[in-house]
Each structure stands twice: as structure tokens, then as C-alpha cells.
Chains A and B, each alone.
Chain A
Amino acid sequence: MNAALPIPGLQRELGRELRSASDQQLSRVVAVVDALPERGAADALIAPVRARLAQLRPDRPLRLSRVLFTPLNAVIVATVKWRPASISVPRSALDLLGKLILAQIGTLRSELETVASQRTSSDATAIQAIGDVLWPAAGRVLQELDMPGNWTEQTGLQSRVWHEIRDGAAVVLNRAVRIEEITHTPDNEELLQSLLKDRTGCNDAGFALVVRVLLVRHPRPTDLLRTLANLRHSGAATATEQAISATLDDLEPALEQIETADPTAAVGQAVQLAMMFDALDTPTRRTHITALRADAARLCQERLERTVQQGLLEPLTATSSPSSIDFPAIETTARGVRKLGAAAQRLGGQRSLERFMQLSVTAILALDSPAIDPVDRIRLLEILVGPDAALAYARAPSQP
């Protein structure tokens, strides 16, 4: 493996230092690593603090290698957890595959690198715009790649799994732009059907990988499963079942995201899980789903509590000056609270939801009048409890 420092003791020592570093120090270290032309060993250095980085989410320069495998995010697993035919992609394969692909896309690489160099990792639109061009090109290159001689040395994976990983990743990359479109237009069944019926270069394992990606990203998983059930091609039912099992067996990262990701991502994940559990809740899976629901509901409620407190109540009560309140940001948080509440409700956390909504409404109504414009106030109530309830609160002579 090239991802190791020449002196193991030094690596351990640096790892310890990093683990005890403050958030600010850690962000600075990551910035230095990001600026290196060759990351190799430095990447290994920050490996032990990846979980903290995921929580910290420092804004990093956008790199093509980061954009390249974004469509596979939902199915990437740690190599130690990866098993053949597990409808997933081992993380250690990505670095090598990325280098091989980027080396073969010709001038496109420098063109896209120029675009990426002006953007950061939090710029979702830039990632998608670059991906529109990069993903199809990468898919074409990847599906024709021969196994490199240093495959096992670089990835720690056996040569017999090369085809499974290469083909699966290529299938998803070749369909990435359409998958993105489907997530934006979930009611377009025609588009979904055409994607699922397209078996070009796609064996059953690749198909299962596509289904798994869709399952964790499609805003209406029930519609997805219905469309899958109506597919006539052989192997579709088995692949779907495999994708569902793989998804349910590997929900730890998704649950962790509710807890640690930035509010927008956490809310998105909670809503997605709620919808997915609804779609997958069949008698045969009920016990498993019920347990997962309970876990997710608990995390949602904890996150809801934190978001209401830190994102709504604290900023609103911290000042009496209307100009110092960032209302667009607070409204975004309020939307997140409402969505998280809806997800929690769907997952079974009804009581907490009502309590937090009531807390938020009470706090907003109790704010001193100079601190908040009446229209801002009623808009916040509208976002949290809907227009009718907002009007009722606003017209009520006394606070609830």
C-alpha cells in the first residue's frame, strides 16, 4: 500500500496528535493536506479523524476525484466491511480507479479541473454540473479498463473481485445523470422505467447496485418499488431483494448522518429514511424495520431538540435588534425543523414533535416586538405549523 508513512511510529504519533486537535486545528491540517499535489500518505494520516471531519465538514477545495464517485456515495463502504456480492463498493478501490479514469479522459480532465478549482466541496450545483460531463465520460472509460497490475497492492482487494467492482461502478456512473434527474422529478415514471429497463452493460449485480442507489435517493421509494415490481426482465426481483437487504444491513452511516451531518443533510436523510421504511415495511421485514424505525426516531428527536434550541430559539432570543437576526437562515432552519418533525412523526415520534413545535411557537410569540417584524414572525409560524395555525396564533389575544 502506498498510503502509509515511511515510519509507522511517526504515523501513530501524528494520528494521536490529530485526534486531540481542536476543530480549528483540524480544519487547518485538512487545508494543508488538500493543498498537497500528491495526497497519498497524508490521506492515511487523516483517516483516523474522518468521522470527526464528516461532522465538522470543513469547506474543502473541490477536486475531480471527489466529484467522480459522488453518485456512488450511498453504496461506498469501508474496505474491511466489504464482501463480494454485497451490492456495495469498497472505499479503497476508489483512489486507484479515480486515478486510472482521470488519466484517460484526455483534455476533459484539465477543462473540468479549471472549473473545479474555483469551487468548494460544499457547492452541490458545481458538483452536479461537473458530474454532468464527467460521469458519462468516466463510465465509458471505466467499463473498458483492464485490471491494473498494482490492484491488490494498492487496494488490498483480491484480483477476482476486480470485475464486480469495475462493472458495478461503471453501471452507476453511466446512469448517474439520469439518476440525478429522477431524484429531481420523482413523479416521472416514464424516466424511471426507461432507466430500469436499460440493461446496457448491466448484469444483475450492476442492476442491484443501481436499485440500491435509487432506493436511498429516490424521494418516493414506494413508487420506485412499484415500478420495480412491474419490471418483466429476469433477475429484477432478486436484484431488488438483494439491494433492499444490503441497504437495511448497512444503515449505520445513514443513521449517523441524522446525528452528525449538517442540518440540511441530516433533515434530508431523516426524511429519506422515513419514506424508505414506509416503502419497505412488509410483514416479512416488519421486525427489522420496526427496530430501525425506533433507532431513527430517537436520533431524529435528539436532532430536533438540538436544532430547535440552537438553530431557532438561541438566535431568536440572543438579540433584541431586528437587523442582527439572519432571518433567511432562521427560516431555513425552521423548514428543517418542520421536515425533521414530519420525519420523526412518520418514524413514530409524535409526542416529541408536538412538544418541540409548541416550544418553538411559544418562543416566537414571546419575542419582544422590536426584535422581530410582525410579518417575519407570522412567516416563521407559517413554516412551523402551517398558514391556518399561524393565523390562529397570530390572532389569539393571549399566548398559548
Chain B
Amino acid sequence: MIMARSFALQSPYHPTTFLERGAAVPFTTPLLAGARVRAAQRSGLELVLPNPGGGKGFYVLPWTGVQEFCALTLHDRQLQDRAAGLQSVTPSGIRQAAREIAANGYAGREARDAATRAQRQATDDQLATNYYLLLILVSQVEQSALANMQERLPQLEMRAKRAVASIAPELGLEPDFVSTLLEELAVLLQGIGVGPIAAKALLPRALGNLVALRRDLEQWTTSHNDDTSELADIIGVTADLSIGCAGKAIADVRSSTEKMSVLLSRWRTEPQALSSWVARPEWLLDGWEPICLLWSEASTVATRRAALREMIDLVPILPKEVGDWIGMAEQIEAVNVYKRFSTLNRDWRSGLPVLDLVEEGASQACALDRVARNERLRALAA
């Protein structure tokens, strides 16, 4: 069997950093559910895959060798190629690559239309973020409230120019360069959201979906007295921690706009460090979207129970690094241990044994349905 030749099973698996854990990749091939991509130690990328048998441990294989593991859908081949060209692996980079592939139609027309809409929305979000960053800057320079900034555009433009001109010497920059920095910051912060529309940004919405999932899981745990109640509890505990960490990380990043001069200065002098810091919420929420979608797509008891069994193996492991980020190292360790031991020996992950997918005729039916389901999730994804 190919797996034995090319892939090393690593267990137990508890990554130290998010970079080591990798970014979730929305493959549509059923066997690649829960797959993550990360930079390899020397060069290139690696795929990190939960044990297809559902047991302990993860497979790590070269990114270019994924097709030896299983037959990839055309969508996944495109995504694999696109991801290979990324300069660095981040959740937003993978999301953008996946959107581009979906926008080309490789996950079907519904996903294509959704990706096109999401791309347009991202452009609008970026413009809106730039606009509100400018308003925040004006309000700080003029020491006026943001709420009073609703006025006609030409007047607003004049005040914005004055604010930029006023802060530029403090930063030791030309005003035009300050505007450029603001545009770059808008790209960086668009997922977090600032100003009055902050709650509609990508990451706060993702956090909201996770909070809703947590609420539903709590209700499930109290109303169902069977093994799925335990699964819901386990997922809920990890969700709780992700919610707490991501909520705090989002709030921290947003609060950085309270001193725009400091934020602009930091962006100019240490862009890498600031990027990494701003990216914390997306790393913390990375991998939860498919879990939330699986749950929201299931509306009956049977399908919800099935969803819980699928969800449990997709729950993102929180790296030890989170403890340093938020000062809760012990709690992080406890949750991961809980999760690792609780999922041990569960033999169901995709519902489709490897042999069935690649060899048996009639069972292709299940694989086809699962790919179609995954494509539907792509259409629902942000």
C-alpha cells in the first residue's frame, strides 16, 4: 500500500506553533478532510493529514506527493498548484487561493458564484477599512468623535488630508507615504474590521458562527444522553477556548487603532512582526469554518449525530504557542490532552474506507456524494 512507503505517521501530535500546525486547506477530495499545509523544514510545503483511520497521529507527506496518497479532484489539483506558489503559508493566503480556484468554477457553479461574490466583498471590505482607518485618524488628530464624522465627502477629504499632513512629520514621512501605509494597513485589518462596520468583517463573522455553534452544542449536550453528547462536549470545550482566545486577539488588534500614529509607525518599522500579530485571530479561527458549516448543514437528529462524528476529527488542535499569546498555557494543554484521548480509536472520519474510494465500483457513489457535499460547503464558505 502506498501509504506505508511514502508517509510517516507521527504521534502523538501536538504542534508547538501555528506555523507547525499549518493552515487548513479546503480540499474537496473526501480523504483529505482536515488536511493542513505548512512549510517544510528545508524547502517547499508539506501536507499534514489526520490519520485516515481516525486514530491517534497525523500523516505528514510532501505537498507534491499528495497525488500518491489518493486521486485528487480537479479542484484540489488546481488548489495544490496554487498553494505551492505561495510565498508563505497563512490562512488568508490559502483562503484567497481557494477562492480563486472556486471562482474559476472548479468546485461547481454555486461555489464559483459564491467565490466571485466573496472576492467582490473583500474588495469592498478593504475600501471600507481604509475609509474608517482614515476617519479614525482624523478623529484622533482633531480629537473629535468618530460619530460626528458623517459629512459631505469633499469636506471629509479636506480634513483627511489635513490629518495625514499633520501626522506625517511625527512619523518622519511624506503625507503620500502615510496614505500608502493606511492602504496597506487596510489590507492587513480588513478581516478584523474597524469602525462601525467592524462586526461584519470576515473574522468577527467567523467568531459569531463559532459562538452559535458552541451554543447549539451546549444545547445538544443537555438534551441528548448518548455518545454524541460527549462528542459535542469535547468540541464545545475546544470551541470555548478558541472563542476566548480569538475574541481577545480581535479586541487587541482593534484596540491598536486607538493610537493610529503608533500603529502606522509600527507598520513602517516592523511590518513582519505586526503582520504576525494581526494574523493571530485568523490562525485561532482557522479550521473552524468547515466544522460550523457541517453543523449548520445538518438539520435532523440523524444528520447532526453524523455531523458530530465528522466534526470531532476536524477540531483544530491548539498549538502550545497559544499559551504564550494569551497566558493560559495550562488550560491549552488540558484541552488538547482531553481531545487527543477522547478521540482515540474512533475509526470513522470520512465514512469512506480508502479501498472503497479508489477501487470499488459501487462505493464510488458515496465518494461522489461526498465530493458534491464538499463542493456545496465551498459554496457556503466565506
Contacts and interface: CB of A to CB of B under 8 A. Distances in A.
A346 interface: yes
A376 to B, nearest CB: 7
Interface string B317-353: 0000000000000000000000000000001100101
Given A379-B105, A387-B72, A387-B77, A185 B309 contact: yes
B369 interface: yes
Contacts of B364: 338-339, 342
B109 A185 contact: no
A271 B301 CA distance: 25
A178 to B, nearest CB: 8
A172 to B, nearest CB: 15
B148 interface: no
Interface string A177-208: 10011011111111100000000000000000
B303 interface: yes
B197 interface: no
A386 interface: yes
B300 interface: yes
Contacts of A113: none
B302 interface: yes
Contacts of B368: 335, 338-339, 383
B302 A376 contact: no
B305 interface: yes
Interface in A123-160: 125, 128-129, 131-132
Interface in A233-269: 267
Given A125-B299, A186-B351, A376-B105, A335 B372 contact: yes
B86 interface: no
Interface string B187-230: 00000000000000000000000000000000000000001000
A388 B299 contact: no
Interface residues of B, number: 33
Q: Kindly name the residue among B108, B302, B364 whose own CB sees the greatest number of chain A CB atoms within 10 A.
A: B302
B104 A375 contact: yes
B361 A177 contact: no
Contacts of A180: 300-302
B73 A387 contact: yes
A214 interface: no
Nearest to A342: B361
B104 A177 contact: no
Contact of B353 (A187, A343, A383): A187
Contact of B347 (A131, A187, A267, A339): A187
A184 B72 CA distance: 24
A327 interface: yes
A328 interface: yes
B59 interface: no
B262 interface: no
B132 interface: no
A185 B369 CA distance: 14
B361 A345 contact: yes
Contacts of A390: 74
Contact of B300 (A132, A219, A274, A373): A132
Contact of B361 (A132, A346, A378): A346
A164 interface: no
A222 to B, nearest CB: 11
A143 B106 CA distance: 52
A394 B305 CA distance: 41
Contacts of B301: 128, 132, 177, 180-181
B110 interface: yes
Contacts of A346: 361-362
A307 to B, nearest CB: 14
Nearest to A181: B302
A328 B300 contact: no
B78 to A, nearest CB: 10
A76 B226 CA distance: 30
A275 interface: yes
B306 interface: yes
Contact of A328 (B71, B73, B109): B109
B365 interface: yes
A271 B300 contact: no
B314 to A, nearest CB: 15
B366 interface: yes
A185 B106 CA distance: 28
B302 A132 contact: yes
A331 interface: yes
A391 interface: yes
Given A338-B364, A342-B365, 18 more contacts: A125-B300, A129-B299, A132-B300, A177-B302, A180-B300, A183-B302, A185-B351, A186-B351, A187-B348, A187-B353, A271-B365, A335-B368, A335-B372, A339-B368, A346-B362, A376-B109, A382-B74, A387-B74
22 contacts: A125-B300, A128-B301, A129-B300, A185-B309, A185-B351, A187-B351, A187-B353, A219-B366, A267-B365, A335-B369, A339-B362, A339-B364, A342-B361, A342-B362, A342-B364, A343-B361, A343-B362, A343-B365, A345-B362, A373-B105, A376-B109, A382-B73
Interface of A: 125, 128-129, 131-132, 177, 180-181, 183-191, 219, 267, 271, 274-275, 278, 327-328, 331-332, 335, 338-339, 342-343, 345-346, 373, 375-376, 378-379, 382-383, 386-388, 390-391
Give the 4 A-B CB pairs with smallest separation, nearest first.
A180-B302, A375-B105, A184-B306, A339-B365
Interface of B: 71-74, 77, 104-106, 108-110, 227, 299-303, 305-306, 309, 347-348, 351, 353, 361-366, 368-369, 372
